[in-house]
Structure 1
Amino acid sequence: MKKLNLRQIVLDTETTGINFYPPYYKGHRIIEIGGVEIINRHITGNNFHVYINPKKNISLEALNIHGITNKFLYDKPTFNQIIDNFLDYIKNSELIIHNAQFDIDFLNYELSLLQKNIPNIENMCSIIDTLKISRKLFPGKRNSLNSLCSRFNIDKSNRNIHGALLDAKLLANVFLSMTSIQDSFILEFQKKKNINEINNIQKHLVKKKLLIIHPTEEEHKLHQLKLDYIKKKCGFHLWN
């Protein structure tokens, strides 16, 4: 049987600005996309990385986060010029994104501006949000990318500022570590659940008084006659 390849793309974007509430993309554009390919839980090195000229000024707030300037992006391609390569890269894959709604909203907005009737990203790829996974695994704790890197001892020393490819590489390692932990949690839960079920059954049996039904004298005689008949026919007693 041919082994199926599970292809996953860890994705991150940087933008001209940030809104804290949906729609995140309102008034802003994507300026960088980074992707890291994982096949069967192995990082392949087949990455996707592109800077994009947004034809729009970058806000000071965003500049302080990623350090990307309009001057740097002046000679970079537009989104329209990179879209075919990007879609070829992510097709037939599962997208892994931290706080996925943010990036998906931006990407879908960019697609809508092209007016090419391209489907929304979630209609082309399945999506895993690592922020949702981390909140389930570590409720009440900080679950930013920095916090998760620290929690899983992943080197983030080069992350002085945000970068789409750098963050995608870090998230790829976080995802693999986190899902291994998730699987072990599930297995441990199932193991404990099975042990608890067995213990509960044993306790129930101990507490429950077994009902013993004794044969009547007539039943005992008939049973003995049957045994004697078997011994006579077979030459041996059935339980001797």
Structure 2
Amino acid sequence: MREIVFDTETTGLDPRDDRVIELGCVELVNRFPTGRTLHFFINPQGRSVHPDAQAVHGISDADLADKPVFGEILKAFLDFIDGAKLVAHNANFDIGFINAELEGLDQPGIEPGRVVDTLAIARRKHPMGPNSLDALCRRYGIDNSHRTKHGALLDAELLAEVYIELAGGRQADFGLEIVAQGENGASQTDRIPIDLPPRPRPLPSRLSTAEREAHAALVDAIGEKALWHKFYGEILAEEQEIA
């Protein structure tokens, strides 16, 4: 299963008037980072960065003057996300801006059912919150000390780690609930089971007879008063009863 965790930075908060100025993407396969990323700073084509937005991400108009416009990075972006689910925190915001950019280039928008919202997952899993990206990093012990400003690629990398933890960590998942946006904007839940075949018979003991005898001799040499001698004797008695 291929997923792209992504984040955007923008000139402001309104996708009808503001533009995407930074885009960061991180590839996951079966919820493990592959090391592949995509990152662009983007010229907003005459739209100035709002001072409030600049205070959050630190990107100025001068920083973007020589950067490509969205149309110039479009193919690379579409190729990178092709066939993958898209994962974002407060996904309505980021998808709203991406779809506005796509619409301006006469491209079809990203379907809501293709999007996974980690904020919705976090709110279901931790209803008492807080569930900001920084709060989730603290909850899961993810180092975000280098996040002094918002940045699309940095935030996507942190979110990828958070998403893995929300999904149960790096352990096999046996029925993860994924919250995606429905067609009407409401959240919908999909269960994605991992189908593992049953083990036909128990695994044999990895200890040989010689190893068991050597360990018993070591315990005997330590002496009868050793605490583990008592427990080892109980284990041997149980094995003999089972046999």
TM-score, scaled to structure 2: 0.68
- Amino acid aligned to 1:32: E
Equivalent of 1:94 in 77, 85, 92: 85
Aligned residue number for residue 120 of structure 1: 109
Equivalent of 2:29 in 39, 46, 49: 39
Question: Deviation at 1:41?
Answer: 1.8
Contact 2:167–2:176 (8 Å) recurs in 1: no
For the residue of structure 2 that corresponds to 1:161, the secondary structure is coil
Aligned residue number for residue 65 of structure 1: 56
For the residue of structure 1 that corresponds to 2:111, the secondary structure is helix
Question: Deviation at 1:86?
Answer: 0.4
For the residue of structure 2 that corresponds to 1:57, the secondary structure is coil
Q: Indicate the percent of aligned positions where both proteins have the same amino acid.
A: 47
- Cα distance in 1 for residues equivalent to 2:59 and 2:165: 30
Q: By percentage of residues, which structure has more helix?
A: 1
TM-score, scaled to structure 1: 0.69
Give the gaps of 5 or more residues in structure 2: 178-243
Equivalent of 1:10 in 5, 12, 21: 5
- Cα distance in 2 for residues equivalent to 1:126 and 1:41: 16
- Cα distance in 2 for residues equivalent to 1:184 and 1:151: 23
For the residue of structure 2 that corresponds to 1:110, the secondary structure is helix
Query: Could you give the per-residue CA deviations for residues 185-230 of structure 1, whole angstroms, max 9, x where no partner exists?
Result: 979xxxxxxxxxxxxxxxxxxxxxxxxxxxxxxxxxxxxxxxxxxx
Question: Deviation at 1:27?
Answer: 1.1
Aligned residue number for residue 39 of structure 2: 49
Question: Deviation at 1:75?
Answer: 0.4
Aligned residue number for residue 141 of structure 1: 129
Give the gaps of 5 or more residues in structure 1: 1-5, 19-23, 188-240
For the residue of structure 2 that corresponds to 1:121, the secondary structure is coil
Aligned residue number for residue 159 of structure 1: 147
Query: Could you give the per-residue CA deviations for residues 112-164 of structure 1, whole angstroms, max 9, x where no partner exists?
Result: 1113xx211127x7111000000000002110000000000000011000000
Q: Which has the larger radius of gyration?
A: 1
Aligned residue number for residue 118 of structure 2: 130
* Matched length: 174
- Cα distance in 1 for residues equivalent to 2:40 and 2:176: 38
Q: By percentage of residues, which structure has more strand?
A: 2
Distance 1:186-1:100 versus aligned 2 partners, 3 A rule: closer
Question: Deviation at 1:26?
Answer: 2.5
- Cα distance in 2 for residues equivalent to 1:109 and 1:185: 34
- Cα distance in 2 for residues equivalent to 1:122 and 1:41: 21
- Cα distance in 2 for residues equivalent to 1:130 and 1:165: 16
Aligned residue number for residue 232 of structure 1: none
Q: What RMSD over aligned residues (CA atoms) do the two structures have, in Å?
A: 2.0
- Cα distance in 2 for residues equivalent to 1:171 and 1:43: 11
Query: Could you give the per-residue CA deviations for residues 64-92 of structure 1, whole angstroms, max 9, x where no partner exists?
Result: 00000110110000001010110000011
- Amino acid aligned to 1:15: T
Does 1:26 find its partner at 2:24?
A: no
For the residue of structure 2 that corresponds to 1:44, the secondary structure is strand
- Amino acid aligned to 2:22: E
- Cα distance in 1 for residues equivalent to 2:153 and 2:29: 18
Distance 1:186-1:12 versus aligned 2 partners, 3 A rule: closer
- Cα distance in 1 for residues equivalent to 2:127 and 2:100: 32
- Amino acid aligned to 2:108: P
Aligned residue number for residue 227 of structure 1: none
- Cα distance in 1 for residues equivalent to 2:78 and 2:176: 34
